[in-house]
Amino acid sequence: DAGVTQSPTHLIKTRGQQVTLRCSPISGHKSVSWYQQVLGQGPQFIFQYYEKEERGRGNFPDRFSARQFPNYSSELNVNALLLGDSALYLCASSLEAPSGVPHFGPGTRLTVT
């Protein structure tokens, strides 16, 4: 079975711009979570979605938003990009929430200049 897929792999944006990152979960998984990993740090939890509803949110500003679609894929949007938003954005899917084991995708490397 295919694992979690994310697109794009890399992208470069300018401060103030907006970005949309995409994630497709493992087939059969209904929960998607997003994490931000700044260089040299562990991942930090941003959002969890289950059955198209937000079930959890980490300590991130309102510039960060997400949604989950009927096919359980998900998008993460970040508005008004700051230099500090440069990071690896990881998507994880699990069978259910909140008790499912997260399986991570390869991530999207975002660079803000």
Q: Please answer whether residues 103 and 45 qualify as being in contact, where contact means their C-beta atoms are separated by less than 8 angstroms.
A: no
Q: Considering only the stretches 20-28, 67-75, 77-85, 99-107, report the one whose residues sit in contact with other proteins under the rule CB under 8 A.
A: 99-107
Q: Does 44 engage in binding with other proteins (CB under 8 A)?
A: yes
Q: Please answer whether residues 109 and 88 qualify as being in contact, where contact means their C-beta atoms are separated by less than 8 angstroms.
A: yes
Q: Please answer whether residues 1 and 27 qualify as being in contact, where contact means their C-beta atoms are separated by less than 8 angstroms.
A: yes
Q: Considering only the stretches 15-23, 65-73, 75-83, 97-105, report the one whose residues sit in contact with other proteins under the rule CB under 8 A.
A: 97-105
Q: Does 45 engage in binding with other proteins (CB under 8 A)?
A: yes
Residues that bind other proteins (CB under 8 A): 4, 33, 35, 40-46, 48, 50, 55-56, 58, 90, 92, 97-99, 101-107, 109
